[in-house]
C-alpha cells in the first residue's frame, strides 16, 4: 500500500483531492524565510489566509455602524452564532439545534457538569480516564468539591494496565460492573491528548446509560479530527475547543453539544444568562429565565463576534473541503507516517498510539528513548514544529487540510538524522 521512496509521496500528492487547500493556510517560517514542517495542528491549527478578511469585515461594520451592526452588519451580530451551527453540526455529527459555539472549553465543561452531574448520597462518583488533560481533571475535582465530596473518594480512574499506555474498554466495563450503581457521570476525553487513543463514543455512552449514569466527552482533540457522530452515538453532552484542528486561532471560542432529548428540559439545573433566554422575550428585560430549547439555552452572554469571525472562516474552509474527504485523507496520511516511522526500524522510537485506524485520529505519539524536553528545540533547529509532552513523547499530526505527503516524507528523513545523533 505504501512505499518509503520519495516518488510515492509525490504521486500521493498528485492524487490528493485536498491538495489545493494547502495554499489556503499561512505556514510559519524561520528567520531565513524557510518554511517549517508544521506537524502541530493538534496543539494549534494554522491560520486560514481568508481569516484576516473575515475579521476585518466585522471591524469595518463596527466602525461604520456601531451598535446597529447587531442588525445591519453584513453578517448581523445578533444571530451570528446561529450561522455557525449548521457547519459545526456536520463536523461533529449533530443536529444544528444540539450545537452552539460559546465560551471556552473548560467554561463549557463546567456549565455542562452543573447540569449533568447531580450527585446523591448513593450515586456521586465520576469516571475519568487516568491521563485526562489536566484541565478536565481540575474541573471534575472542583465540581466534586462543590458538592461536598472528596475527589479521592468520588473519582474512579480508568487506567491502562501495568506496563501499557492505552486504556482497554473491557476494563471500563469492569469498573461499571463493580461501581455502576454509585457512578453519576462518565467524563471521558474521547481522543486522548497524550497517546492519541480514540475511545469508542457510542459504546461508552451505552455502557454508562445502562447503569443509569450520564455521559459526556471532551472533544478537544476530536472535533475536526475524527467524526464523533454525536447525535447517533447519544452522549448527554460534549465540549470542544476550535483552535486545534478547527483552526480558529489561539484561545478562540469553544463548542458545546447537548443531545436533543434534553432540549426541552427547563427543569435541568444550569447556570443561566440572558443570551440563553427565549429569543421572543429576551429584550423585554423583565421576565424570569425561560431557556431556549436546545444547546442555545446554555448560553450566558452575547456572541464574541471577532472570535466567531475566525471560527466562521475555518468552518467555511471545512464546508468546501467536505469533512468526509478530510477524514479519508487523515486515515491514509497518518498510515503513511506510521509506515515510514516503522521503516526506520529504530530501537529509539516507539509509537504508542493504537495501530487500528478506528482507534485514532491523525495524531501519532512517539516515545523517544532517553529523550528530554530539549527534543522540542532540536526539532525546531531542524526545521520541524512538533509537540513535546513529558516525559518522553513527541506528538506528530499530519493535518489533512494543510499537510502534504511530501512534508511527511521530509519529516521522517530529518528524524532519521536526529535519532542517529
pLDDT in tens, 358-408: 999 999 999 988 888 788 889 999 999 999 888 889 999 999 999 999 999
Predicted pLDDT at 75: 97
E-strand ranges in 88-154 read 99-102, 125-129
Q: Which helix (H) or strand (E) holds 384?
A: strand 384-385
Residue 421 has pLDDT above 80, yes or no: no
- Flag the least confident range among 1-5, 79-83, 250-254: 1-5
Predicted pLDDT at 404: 98
Per-residue pLDDT, averaged over 156-183, amounts to: 97
User: 28, 38 in Cβ contact below 8 A?
Assistant: yes
CATH of 6-48+322-420, one of 3.90.1150.10, 3.40.50.1820, 2.115.10.20, 3.30.70.560: 3.90.1150.10
Per-residue pLDDT, averaged over 22-30, amounts to: 97
Q: Which of 228, 225, 167, 202 is nearest to 353 (CA)?
A: 167
Residue 1 has pLDDT above 90, yes or no: no
Residue 304 has pLDDT above 90, yes or no: yes
Predicted pLDDT at 370: 82
CA distance 59 to 57: 5
Per-residue pLDDT, averaged over 302-320, amounts to: 97
3-state DSSP helix/strand/coil % of the chain, to nearest 5 = 45, 15, 40
**From the CB of residue 349, how many other CB atoms can be counted at a distance below 10 Å?**
17
Q: With pLDDT > 70 as the criterion, what percentage of the chain qualifies?
A: 100
Predicted pLDDT at 285: 80
Which ranges constitute the DSSP H helices of 211-363? 230-233, 305-321, 323-343
Prediction pTM value: 0.95
User: 88, 81 in Cβ contact below 8 A?
Assistant: no
Predicted pLDDT at 328: 98
Per-residue pLDDT, averaged over 268-292, amounts to: 89
Reported as a single tens digit per residue, the pLDDT across 330-339 is: 999 999 999 9
CATH of 81-302, one of 3.20.20.140, 3.40.640.10, 3.40.50.300, 3.30.70.1230: 3.40.640.10
Predicted pLDDT at 286: 77
**From the CB of residue 6, how many other CB atoms can be counted at a distance below 10 Å?**
13
Q: With pLDDT > 90 as the criterion, what percentage of the chain qualifies?
A: 90
Residue 254's pLDDT band, with cuts at 50, 70 and 90, is very high
- Flag the least confident range among 256-265, 271-280, 281-290, 308-317: 281-290
Sheet with 125-129, edge to edge strand ranges: 99-102, 254-258, 237-241, 214-218, 183-188, 125-129, 155-158
Question: Is the peptide bond between 391 and the residue preceding it cis, with omega within 30 degrees of 0?
Answer: yes
Q: What is the largest CA-CA distance in the chain?
A: 71
Output phi, psi for 350, to 5 deg.
-145, 125
In sequence order, what are the beta bridge partners of 368? 349
Helix 305-321, helix 51-65: angle, nearest 10: 140
Residue 276's pLDDT band, with cuts at 50, 70 and 90, is very high
Q: Do domains 6-48+322-420 and 81-302 have the same CATH topology?
A: no
Please state, rounded to an integer, the average pLDDT across all residues of the chain. Answer: 96
CA distance 122 to 115: 18
Q: Where along the chain do its domains lie?
A: 6-48+322-420, 81-302
Predicted pLDDT at 9: 97
Residue 260 has pLDDT above 80, yes or no: yes
Amino acid at each position: 500500500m505504501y512505499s518509503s521512496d520519495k516518488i510515492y509521496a509525490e504521486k500521493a500528492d498528485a492524487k490528493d483531492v485536498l491538495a489545493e487547500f494547502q495554499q489556503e493556510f499561512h505556514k510559519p517560517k524561520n528567520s531565513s524565510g524557510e518554511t517549517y514542517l508544521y506537524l502541530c495542528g493538534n496543539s494549534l491549527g494554522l491560520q486560514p489566509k481568508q481569516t484576516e478578511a473575515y475579521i476585518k469585515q466585522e471591524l469595518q461594520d463596527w466602525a461604520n455602524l456601531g451598535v446597529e451592526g447587531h442588525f445591519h452588519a453584513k453578517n448581523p451580530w445578533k444571530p451570528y452564532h446561529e450561522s455557525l451551527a449548521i457547519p459545526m453540526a456536520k463536523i461533529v455529527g449533530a443536529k444544528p439545534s444540539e450545537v452552539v459555539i460559546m465560551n471556552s472549553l473548560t467554561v463549557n465543561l463546567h456549565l455542562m457538569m452543573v447540569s449533568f452531574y447531580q450527585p446523591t448520597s448513593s450515586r456521586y462518583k465520576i469516571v475519568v480516564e487516568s491521563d485526562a488533560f489536566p484541565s478536565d481533571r481540575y474541573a471534575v475535582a472542583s465540581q466534586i468539591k462543590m458538592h461536598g465530596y472528596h475527589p479521592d473518594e468520588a473519582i474512579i480512574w480508568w487506567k491502562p494496565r501495568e506496563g501499557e499506555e492505552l486504556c482497554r474498554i473491557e476494563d471500563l466495563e469492569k469498573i461499571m460492573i463493580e461501581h455502576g450503581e454509585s457512578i453519576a457521570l462518565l467524563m471521558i476525553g474521547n481522543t486522548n491528548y497524550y497517546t492519541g487513543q480514540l475511545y469508542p463514543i457510542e459504546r461508552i455512552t451505552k455502557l454508562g446509560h445502562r447503569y443509569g449514569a450520564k455521559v459526556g466527552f471532551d472533544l478537544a482533540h476530536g472535533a475536526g479530527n475524527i467524526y464523533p457522530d454525536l447525535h447517533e452515538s447519544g452522549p448527554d453532552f460534549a465540549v470542544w475547543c476550535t483552535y486545534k484542528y478547527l483552526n480558529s486561532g489561539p484561545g478562540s471560542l469553544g463548542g458545546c453539544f447537548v443531545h436533543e432529548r434534553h432540549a426541552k428540559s427547563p427543569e435541568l439545573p444550569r447556570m443561566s444568562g440572558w443570551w440563553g433566554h427565549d429569543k421572543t422575550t429576551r429584550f423585554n428585560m423583565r421576565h424570569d429565565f425561560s431557556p431556549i430549547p436546545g444547546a442555545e439555552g446554555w448560553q450566558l452572554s452575547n456572541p464574541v463576534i471577532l472570535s466567531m469571525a475566525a471560527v466562521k472562516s475555518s468552518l467555511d474552509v471545512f464546508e468546501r473541503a467536505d469533512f468526509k474527504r478530510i477524514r479519508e485523507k487523515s486515515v491514509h496520511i497518518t498510515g503513511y507516517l506510521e509506515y515510514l516511522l516503522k521503516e526506520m526500524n529504530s530501537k529509539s522510537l516507539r509509537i504508542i498510539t493504537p495501530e487500528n485506524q478506528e482507534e485514532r485520529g491523525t495524531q501519532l505519539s512517539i516515545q523517544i528513548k532517553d529523550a528530554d524536553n530539549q527534543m522540542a528545540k532540536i526539532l525546531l533547529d531542524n526545521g520541524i514544529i512538533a509537540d513535546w509532552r513529558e516525559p518522553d513523547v513527541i506528538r506528530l499530526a499530519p493535518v489533512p487540510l494543510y499537510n502534504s505527503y511530501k512534508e511527511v516524507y521530509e519529516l521522517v528523513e530529518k528524524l532519521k538524522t536526529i535519532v542517529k545523533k
